[in-house]
Structure 1
Amino acid sequence: MAPSVSPPPEFFRPPELPQIPSPPSKPSRGRSRKGAHKSEGMYRDQLARTLSGVTEVTTPTGRVDIVTRTEIIEVEAAARWKHALGQILAYCYYYPSHQKRIHLYREVDPTVLDQICTQCWRNGVRVTWQA
């Protein structure tokens, strides 16, 4: 069995982002909602503004949520982290000199977050998150 190697701390450091206001509630279609969730687009746009990135950049395999000078970033709800990982691995071939990163939002159990970070680190993908 290979020795356990811990990823460097900078892989886990979340960015300092201002709080994003919740979007207005949409009328429900007969179903009650406990509260409006912030949309992926709101998180994506806020992060892109903070990093001076470009959003929704088209590649042959889909659209990268954010492209900066040095990173490609996929933004996703924490529960969909595996989708984000797959997407960023598909996009990285079109940006070989960029750091791969997924930015997760919503609450996530610390144990699960540790597993997410380990899997992503093994694939060379940096993880950041915000609640």
Structure 2
Amino acid sequence: MSPTTAAIISVVLLIFLFLLRMPVAYVMALVGFIGLCYIVSVPAGFHMLANDFWVMLSSYSLTVIPMFIFMGAVAFYSGMSHRLYDTAYKFIGQRRGGLALTTIVACAGFGAMCGSTNAEAAAMGKVALPE
């Protein structure tokens, strides 16, 4: 089978599994695994699967998640996130688009404390939604 035919079959399988409403991560992993097994070999595919799984789980970026969740819980139950949001609203809330600007400033402040601006944007979104 030519590489072009294998790629077309992979895309068709990808679309078919999406239409069956399988989660995106599982579909991508399954199609990638099948493609790797076809290109290299089945034992090499299983070795790569086990190795990548271990490397991903032992990465430093995943070890900080439990402490980040704990810090988010402490900030929520202590009211710190709401106070930070209210403080930012008092400074910027009177302007046009004040709610959006307040959310951005609160995200920047909370991100400066934690170090992860993307995760803080998700956390502050939950605080800004009731406002």
**TM-score, normalised to structure 1's length?**
0.23
Q: Which of structures 1 and 2 has the larger relative contact order (alpha carbons within 8 angstroms, sep 6+)?
A: 1
Larger radius of gyration: 2
Which structure: greater helix fraction?
2
- TM-score, normalised via structure 2 length: 0.23
